[in-house]
Structure 1
Amino acid sequence: MKKEEDSRELPNTAAFQDEFTRSLLDSPEQVEDGHYLFESKTGGYSMLWPKNAVTDGPPFYQRTKDSFEKIIFNDINEKENYNYSFSTTYSTYGESAVESSLGILSDSVSYNGEYEKIETDKTHIYFAKSEDTYAGITTYFFFGYITSKESQKGLEYIFSTECIDESKLTCNIDIKKGEEKALHYLKSVKFNKE
Structure 2
Amino acid sequence: MAKQLDYHTIREIFTRFQAREPEPKGELEHVNAYTLLVAVALSAQATDAGVNKATRNLFPIADTPQKMLELGEDRLIEQIKTIGLYRNKARNVMKLSKILVEDYDGIVPNSRAALQSLPGVGRKTANVVLNMWWHYPAQAVDTHIFRVGNRSGICPGKTVDVVERAIEDNVPVDFQQHAHHWLILHGRYHCKARKPLCGTCLIRDLCQFEDKNL
Q: Which has the higher helix share?
A: 2
Higher percent of residues as strand: 1
TM-score calculated relative to the size of structure 2: 0.24
Higher relative contact order (CA 8 A, sep 6+): 2
**TM-score of the superposition, structure 1-length normalised?**
0.26
